[in-house]
Amino acid sequence: MTVTPTSRSITNSVLSKEQAEGAGARVRRSIGRPELRNHDPFLMLDEFNVDKNGGFPDHPHRGFETVTYMLEGQFQHEDFAGHKGTIGPGDLQWMTAGRGIVHSEMPVKSQTRAHGLQLWINLPREHKMCEPQYQELLDGQIPRANPEEGVVVKVIAGESHGVKSQVYTRTPTMYLDFKVAKNKTVIQTIPKTYTGFIYMLKGTAFIGDKEFEGKAHHTLTFSEDGAETVKITTKDEDAHFVFIAGEPLKEPIVQHGPFVMNTTEDIYKTFVDYQYNQNGFERAKNWRSSIAG
């Protein structure tokens, strides 16, 4: 007799409400809102929609990682170290800000819309002041799992159905993009210590043994009961969603805008470093990006 493992359930469903962000940009934020302030190790999740007149001009980061995953259109990136590039539909940029980055993220002007997700992942104390690093993958470089006909999983980070990502995660993380045809059931394994969630992009999915109904633009957080699978079912329509989970750091979080440290003292030091262009922000002095002009 085959025993079906118990699935994690959904404990919270948060609608990502649209708000203004950056310069003329609109984002749907879930993690980072008062209803879901942090979901250790995750600090923020935005679904962004930016036209050619909007964007995210020059701004700093310290103490965490930003993961940008494009769905439609193209985004340009430029930082004070001379790194510059463009990512398009299905492409990924995994940026470890570490001790300091000042950068700009702007849509390609020829595009009518740039649409994607940006996730902020906290860094453990020992990595907060590491050197900045980028991991960039084009859509075709991201491996796929096909557990059955009608189910495609892009393995951005972590592992799914025997397929592993090449992305290195300082905070152990899995990031999976699921496209599931109607009338399918897929079981995704998850380490028992991980926290996690599903963010619905399109369609409807039913999660867990009790089939919690998940609809577009909702973040659905998993129970933390040690179960090592999540069951996801579709019925009369296709579904597109991301499945994100990670090892909670269980460290103090002191956040002030784009800076995330462990103590108020560290945040104060960060402001001083940024103001005086020191300890990681040396190259910020007099730097202005060319793409935000």
Query: Residue ranges for the binding site?
Result: 59, 61, 103, 105
> Would you list which residues are annotated within the binding site for Fe cation?
59, 61, 103, 105
Stretch (H or E) spanning 268 = helix 264-275
CA dist., res. 102 & res. 95, Å (int): 12
Are 178 and 161 spatial neighbours (Cβ–Cβ below 8 Å)? no
Letter for the amino acid at 6?
Answer: T
Number of H-type helices and E-type strands within the chain = 1, 25
Task: List, in order, residues 6 or more apart from 3 with CB less than 8 Å away.
Answer: none
Give the integer Cα–Cα distance in Å for 137 and 62. Answer: 23
Cβ neighbours of 141 (radius 10 Å): 11
DSSP classification of residue 264: H
